Structure 1
Amino acid sequence: MKTLKIKVCGMRESENIWELLHASPDYVGYIFYPKSKRFVGEDPKPEIFSLVPKSTQKVGVFVNEDLEKVRVICSKFQLEVAQLHGNESPEYCQVLKAGGLQVFKAFSVGEHFDFLQLESYIGAVDYFLFDTKGKLPGGTGLKFNWNLLHDYQLPVPFFLSGGIGPHDVDALAQLEHDQLFALDINSGFELEPALKDTHKVKVFINQIRKITT
């Protein structure tokens, strides 16, 4: 099994981020969606972005945000990635990608999800992110049926999200898919919204890297 990248999402506290960085995550995610419990705020402290080394990429998470505002925020805080959780079109994604950003397009997967509907995004995004279908955009803290991933046959690699926790290492070790690129972890490792148990994150990352090296 190839080495999986790890993204830790929903961060906003400086000290917590600093502790998290000792686990060397590949990506750190910041939520710019005001309705989220993990929203970074209208005027986040610049240090929560500047303390992240170049070896860890910074991801801004947006939901149906104005295109120009996404570009401004990513430029202001030197974010390398725009992760989109709304109804953003392939054309919207392509504009961001053409401007130099990596683009992750998230989709909520339910029992009858048709992966073929994603074909129009090929070339417009760098990665898909598959999360659990819920009533509102963003994470539910629940897993979807990972067996559904066998139906995914497109050439775009993907992040797996949705309810991943510290005790899922063995199950993830059995999950083989050529396009599985990374794991996205969030609420399963939290002490409270936007505050991670950094010890659990570090143990999880070490375990995942051991089984996928």
Structure 2
Amino acid sequence: MTLKLKICGMRDPENIKDVVSLKPDYLGFIFYPGSKRFVADLDVPSIDAIPENIRKTGVFVDASFESIAAVVSSYRLSAVQLHGSEDAAFASAFKQAFPQVELIKAFGIDERFDFETLTDFAPVVDYFLFDTQSLAHGGSGKQFDWNLLKGYTLNLPFFLSGGIGIESIQAIKEINDGRLYAIDINSKFETAPAVKDVVKLTEFNNQLFSGAQAKGI
């Protein structure tokens, strides 16, 4: 499996254009009002201009089915990330209504996390996302102990998130787990909330994917 890259927390139209030039696999837009990276009135034309091979991902926290459905339709999202306390029944209903939309269920991981919680979700979502446990539902800039992933026994591929920066590259390369599908980066590459440093992103991209394999290089 070729490792994918997701850059999350986008909002500014010009910054989106710059980040798109790096050709990430996923771009994340946070539709959670409690986040510093909340998109608010996101510019629809700038989202429509994103190439089809970059999956436009909406991030939601305990939003209603109707509000998620409206956003998916308005912005033509190709992926949805549920980052709250949504249950498996909610995930299943969404997937039945939008089978063409990739569904990612996120979980905050710490020493108390019970991986058995994932069992009911595995048949109805496309991927899990493992983030650092925080009251703010992500964006903490802190990395959880990746050794805790030894408790994950299901076969579903996962995104790895939470405080990942350039200093994390070597540790990522040392992960020997075929289920690792994508790396999700956000706050460690910002000059301000929702404004990404393209120079740092380029460095991360080049070092992680190395040489000819670097995305967009």
TM value normalised by structure 1: 0.95
Return the letter of the residue paired with 1:119: T
Gaps of 5+ in 1: none
Q: In the alignment, which of 19, 24, 45 is matched to residue 47 of structure 1?
A: 45
Counterpart for residue 134 of structure 1: 134
Helix, strand or coil at the partner of 1:39 = coil
The CA deviation at 1:138 is 2.3
Q: In the alignment, which of 70, 95, 101 is matched to residue 68 of structure 2?
A: 70
User: Does structure 1 residue 201 correspond to structure 2 residue 201?
Assistant: yes
User: Does structure 1 residue 85 correspond to structure 2 residue 83?
Assistant: yes
Deviations 1:150-197 (A, max 9, x none): 221101110000000012111111112121100000001001100000
Gaps of 5+ in 2: none
TM value normalised by structure 2: 0.93
The CA deviation at 1:52 is 0.7
Counterpart for residue 20 of structure 2: 21
Counterpart for residue 192 of structure 1: 192
CA distance in 2, matches of 1:171, 1:9: 20
Give the paired residue count: 211
CA RMSD of aligned residues (A): 1.5
CA distance in 2, matches of 1:190, 1:103: 26
CA distance in 2, matches of 1:18, 1:47: 12
Counterpart for residue 111 of structure 2: 111
More deviation in 44-53 or 76-85?
44-53
List structure 1 segments (4+ residues) > 4 angstroms apart after TM superposition. none
CA distance in 2, matches of 1:50, 1:168: 32
Counterpart for residue 177 of structure 1: 177
Identical pairs, percent: 44
Counterpart for residue 31 of structure 1: 30
Greater relative CO (CA pairs within 8 A, separation 6+): 1
